[in-house]
């Protein structure tokens, strides 16, 4: 049985206990929300690794995406990127490889880290079709299901599968005269091209029960892919994106009823004033399935700094109730991420998730402790609370340590040193308020 089925029968599994302990929640609450599909736990039966819960009431999780391209396919570098993502606090990792030895890259990455690993099986299927048949549009539909099964057997924890693309959504895209940013989802573009060339329905939509059955067999979480997500601010929340969201929300409930853990993917580029509406719609239409936000990027004019544009969107998304954030790196829109980009992306997204969780989970305790440690110049405490303690220590060390209390920002003009001892008695008992 899958995690959701066992939870529905009242069983508190070791995975439920692990999630509850890490989140500071009681076992029964986690079990109940898992049973209702409001929490998912990517814990494939074939692979032991970190146990992570994603969903209602839990800390907002951060995913780091890596993977080869047809231009740069270096397995060693992908392994390094995966290890950096784990080291700097990513909760999950997605291998989105499309070039070189795709299966070999995936195996090497999964052997190197303990994080749950996600994939998009459609990528490998289309890559194999190009290699074997000369064109992606010549892919036999059966290959999609074969690759999905194979990757589940390898221990993949969650899969983005583009089930919400169908003939209706493709026709809607045509009627709205395409888009400013085109289609930016590789999976979405390949699937639309396949459907148009072959005059057929998307097999992943047409045979959704088979998709859910495969993932259920291995207890792989089904992440309903956002193939029509906007790749430009001016395309956000258009009819085709919302139609796909509606389909994915319906399929999330269908899959859940079959005993398959499900979550729904959200928009990529979106202005700030539309984020909350997208989250409200997803939560209400899906029965509160976990919402996986891809970024989201909040302006189109900051190449090189898209980890910042996405962190702004991620912080708001988290505060409004999104459960899972896919990081964005500085190289977004410019090239394949290198290891240093992965670190920047993970840290930016972790900061954003924390900022959102301060509101969503009503927990600002760590920030309060940090504030007092800064006031009292307690550097060890400050570093212990820092999201990236390594970077904080590096910066302080490069500029000299000043004296034992201050830093070189103010030196002897330190504001807190000037008033040290004057108001401490007035603060007594303030923590009891």
Q: What is the pLDDT of residues 53-97, one digit of tens each?
A: 999 999 999 999 999 999 999 999 999 999 999 999 999 999 999
Mean pLDDT of 162-172: 95
Q: Which of 281, 295, 214, 274 is nearest to 249 (CA)?
A: 281
* Pairwise CA distance, residues 206 & 82, whole Å: 34
The predicted pLDDT at position 419 comes to 79
Helices 141-154, 102-112: inter-axial angle, 10-degree rounding: 20
Residue 161: band (very low, low, confident or very high) from pLDDT cuts 50, 70, 90: very high
Show Cβ contacts of residue 248 under 8 Å, excluding neighbours closer than 6 positions: 163, 164, 224, 225, 226, 264, 265, 286
Q: Is 386 helix (H, G, I), strand (E, B) or coil?
A: coil
Q: Is 39 helix (H, G, I), strand (E, B) or coil?
A: strand
Q: Which of 195, 191, 182, 139 is nearest to 160 (CA)?
A: 191
Residue 29: band (very low, low, confident or very high) from pLDDT cuts 50, 70, 90: very high
Q: Cβ(90)–Cβ(327) under 8 Å? A: yes
Residue 423: band (very low, low, confident or very high) from pLDDT cuts 50, 70, 90: confident
Q: Cβ(4)–Cβ(259) under 8 Å? A: yes
Based on its alpha-carbon atoms, the radius of gyration of the chain, rounded to whole angstroms, reads 23
The predicted pLDDT at position 428 comes to 59
Q: Give me the phi and psi of 201, to 5 degrees please.
A: -75, 155
The predicted pLDDT at position 357 comes to 98
Instruction: Show the domains of the chain with their CATH numbers.
Output: 59-360 (3.20.20.540), 376-432 (no CATH)
* Pairwise CA distance, residues 329 & 396, whole Å: 25
pLDDT in tens, 121-147: 999 999 999 999 999 999 999 999 999
The predicted pLDDT at position 142 comes to 98
Does residue 32 have a pLDDT over 60? Answer: yes
Does residue 400 have a pLDDT over 90? Answer: no
Q: Cis before residue 415, ω within 30 degrees of 0?
A: no
pTM, full prediction: 0.95
Q: Cβ(191)–Cβ(233) under 8 Å? A: no
Per-chain mean pLDDT for the chain:
95
């Amino acid at each position: 049985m899958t995690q959701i089925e066992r939870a529905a029968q009242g069983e508190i599994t070791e995975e439920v206990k692990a999630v509850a302990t890490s989140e500071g929640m009681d076992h029964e609450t986690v079990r109940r929300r898992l049973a209702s599909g409001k929490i998912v736990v990517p814990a494939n039966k074939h692979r032991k690794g970190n146990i992570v819960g994603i969903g209602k009431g839990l800390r907002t999780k951060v995913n780091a995406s890596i993977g080869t391209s047809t231009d740069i396919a270096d397995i060693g570098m992908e392994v390094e990127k995966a290890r950096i993502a784990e080291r700097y606090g990513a909760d999950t990792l997605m291998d989105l490889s499309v070039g070189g030895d795709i299966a070999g890259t995936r195996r090497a990455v999964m052997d190197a880290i303990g994080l749950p690993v996600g994939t998009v099986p459609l990528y490998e299927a289309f890559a194999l079709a190009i290699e074997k048949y000369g064109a992606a549009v010549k892919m036999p539909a059966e290959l999609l299901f074969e690759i999905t099964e194979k990757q589940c057997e390898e221990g993949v924890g969650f899969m983005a599968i583009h089930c919400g693309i169908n003939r209706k959504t493709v026709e809607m895209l045509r009627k709205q005269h395409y888009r400013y940013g085109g289609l930016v989802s590789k999976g979405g573009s390949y699937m639309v091209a396949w459907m148009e060339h072959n005059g057929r329905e998307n097999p992943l939509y047409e045979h959704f029960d088979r998709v859910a059955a495969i993932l259920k067999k291995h207890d792989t979480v089904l992440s309903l892919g956002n193939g029509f997500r906007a790749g430009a601010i001016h395309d956000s929340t258009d009819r085709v994106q919302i139609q796909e969201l509606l389909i994915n929300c319906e399929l999330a409930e269908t899959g859940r009823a079959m005993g398959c853990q499900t979550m729904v993917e959200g928009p990529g580029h979106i202005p700030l004033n539309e984020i909350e509406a997208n989250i409200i719609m997803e939560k209400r239409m899906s029965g509160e399935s976990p919402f996986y936000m891809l970024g989201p990027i909040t302006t189109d004019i900051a190449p090189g700094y898209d980890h910042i544009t996405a962190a702004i969107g991620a912080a708001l998304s988290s505060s409004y109730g999104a459960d899972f954030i896919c990081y964005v790196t500085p190289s977004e829109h410019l090239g394949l991420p290198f290891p240093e980009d992965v670190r920047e992306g993970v840290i930016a997204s972790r900061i954003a998730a924390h900022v959102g969780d301060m509101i969503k989970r009503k927990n600002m305790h760590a920030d309060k402790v940090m504030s007092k440690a800064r006031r009292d110049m307690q550097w060890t405490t400050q570093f212990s609370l820092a999201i990236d303690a390594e970077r904080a220590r590096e910066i302080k060390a490069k500029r000299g340590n000043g004296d034992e209390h201050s830093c070189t920002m103010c030196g002897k003009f330190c504001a807190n040193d000037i008033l040290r001892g004057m108001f401490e008695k007035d603060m007594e008992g303030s923590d009891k308020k």
